[in-house]
Structure 1
Amino acid sequence: MTDSGALQKFLDGVVVDAAVFSLRPDYRAVLLPVDGLVPGPSDEASEALLQAAEASAREALAGRTVEDLPHVVAWREAYKSFGAKPQRTRNSLEALLRRAEAGLPRVNRLTDLYNAVSVLHQVPLGGEDLTGYVGAPRLVRATGAESFDTVAGGVPVVEHPDAGEVIWCDDAGVTCRRWNWRQGRRTHLTDDTTTALFIFDALEPMSDEALQTAADDLAAHLLRLGPDVRIVRRLIANDMTHPEGT
């Protein structure tokens, strides 16, 4: 992709199925397709942001557990709604918060940025290499026949989601299982990624304002990664809770 028009066309094709909103009418997603990124390994800027996120997590968890945080509670309930056991398959926000005390992972510049923003704003946030997509992303309830390209025990394998599980997918298969639990290999960010898609997942009690503020924060950091960075944005929400549209 080379211009904002191509990014917007991709974004316009993203769909959240009505069956997902039936599970959680309060669900909202902000999607940021980004082009013109200058990729690379972890650097001083991403390290500083990760350290700020670790300090933020320590402050948020002072005197309470991860399970007490309101947005974590909401996502645990969402996982139960489609049959997942949240104590075994933790949403991405909870997984990061649990790692923060010992130290968040250092992966590469892009992954470090979105992991830090996820913790700082207490919102599940995923990053995907947009060039790995085949067709537009869709958030649906799985049939169980979809393919999920992943790694188990260090070996590449193809798994299948449980029937009824909430998944992000495209025309080639699953890109992320259990809403925001585990991403597939095909679209994962690398040190060479220049075009990416970032997905913010929100439930009540997170407000639309807080969700957009988190997206603003990530966008500001991404814009610093090169002179040709282009970002477009879309909020997807339930028409019943956002009657004026998205």
Structure 2
Amino acid sequence: MNAAPVPGSGSRSLRAVTFDFWDTLMQQVPALQLRAAAVAKHLGIEEVAVAGAIEDAFVLQTETWRSGREFGLKGLVQHLSRQFQVSSPAGLRSVIAAPHLLAASRPAPHAAETLAELRAAGLRLGIVSDTGFSPGSTLRQLLAEHCLLDHFQPSALAFSDEVGVPKPAAKIFQVALTGLDTRPEETAHIGDLRCTDVAGARALGMITVRYRGCHDDLAGAEADMVVDDLSELPSLLLPAVRGN
């Protein structure tokens, strides 16, 4: 842990916390082969061809994401539809978005206990997350399967495929803040990436916390606080709730 007291905690109260999804709340696991197998079966073509097309789409996804635009599931469906002359993109979308493709994903260590403790202290919780090839609707189901969804304000779940832009755009953070009915300076954001989670939240004036328990991102400006385990969050954040 590399942490200091919540910035400004002596003069302002913390009211809410937002979380990134992948490699923060949930540990990301590779889904390429499962996704390729499902699409290949649906389209009746060779799995190796589908896997190659998905890998190409991932390169496009990364380039688009780095430019601040959303690619996501919609982009993948369009890419595969062009590649394989798909006549029913809606059916293909359903296959790719199927929750069972993410069945191997598990919550980050101590996620459930930490969320429960933060909620019990009166904090409102939201999510600000880029979705990649799995849409927000699928990620909600994944949270529900692991009994995490009810910890969050339903109106404060900001997924990039639904908002239309990825982090670090201000809009995706503002959607969650509006749902939480809090100001940026009253809200902490927890995430693993410096260039999106830290940069985006900081630009709005939010408190930033980088979680490196699943992925230690080294490129970019550091967060206000760094934690190795989500269980460290209550001791860092709750004094700013109780002390004001």
Quick check: TM above 0.5?
no
> Rg larger in 1 or in 2?
2
Query: 1 or 2, which has the higher strand percentage?
Result: 1
TM-score, scaled to structure 1: 0.26
TM-score, scaled to structure 2: 0.26
Q: Which has the higher contact order (CA 8 A, sep 6+)?
A: 1
